[in-house]
Amino acid sequence: MKLLKLYEVAELLSVCKSQVYNLVKQGYLPKPIKIGKRGSAWLQSDIDSWFKSKIEQRDEEVNHG
């Protein structure tokens, strides 16, 4: 199990760090898990699943578009 820090998720999505939290707040991205009093991180598997769902959504739109 691998954890991704905020900057890593931001880099994967090509957005700034504050935008990652905005996307979480909007329900667009999965919520991070707490790893201490002030730290949080995302499970790599959660982000991978999120990407996979976005790819499937795109493919569905292309096939039925």
Q: Give, in order, the Cα–Cα distances in Å from 27 to each of 22, 23, 50, 53.
A: 9, 6, 12, 14
Q: Where are the alpha helices (DSSP H) in the chain?
A: 6-13, 17-25, 44-64
Q: What is the CATH number of the domain that holds 42?
A: 1.10.1660
As a whole number, mean pLDDT of residues 14-34 equals 96
**What range defines the domain where residue 29 resides?**
3-64
Q: Give tens-digit pLDDT for 46-55.
A: 999 999 999 9
How many domains is the chain built from? 1
Averaged pLDDT for residues 4-11: 97
